[in-house]
Amino acid sequence: MAKLLETLTLNAFISFGVILGGTLIGSLGAVLTGRAPGYSMLELAGKLKIWALVTALGGTFDTLRALEAGFLGLQINTLAKQLLLILAAFLGAHSGYLLIIHLAGGKVR
């Protein structure tokens, strides 16, 4: 159980870091090209959410195989673990997205 909790925490913070890092560095690129950094941050945060999930899960094929084994093999523990890992990665990415929205001052219209 402790190992699962550690993995869930790491997944959440990895996806959180992908959103923050990618958005902040991307907005620096926007400044260098003469674009508005706030708008670029909001735009990038939305686009990076799916990539943050994939990064945190360490590749989707292993996760999809485990989900398949859980469904077809009726392995409820494996299925629940994979769904928790996906949920943790999503929560981390969404938290980063909400923080960027707050820092940039609003949503993309």
User: Which pLDDT score is estimated for 82?
Assistant: 82
Tell me the three state secondary structure of residue 73. coil
User: Which pLDDT score is estimated for 36?
Assistant: 86
Question: Global pTM?
Answer: 0.82
Contact (CB, 8 A) for 96 and 19:
yes
Mean pLDDT by 10 residues, the chain (109 residues): 88 94 92 89 90 80 69 76 89 95 76
User: Which pLDDT score is estimated for 72?
Assistant: 74
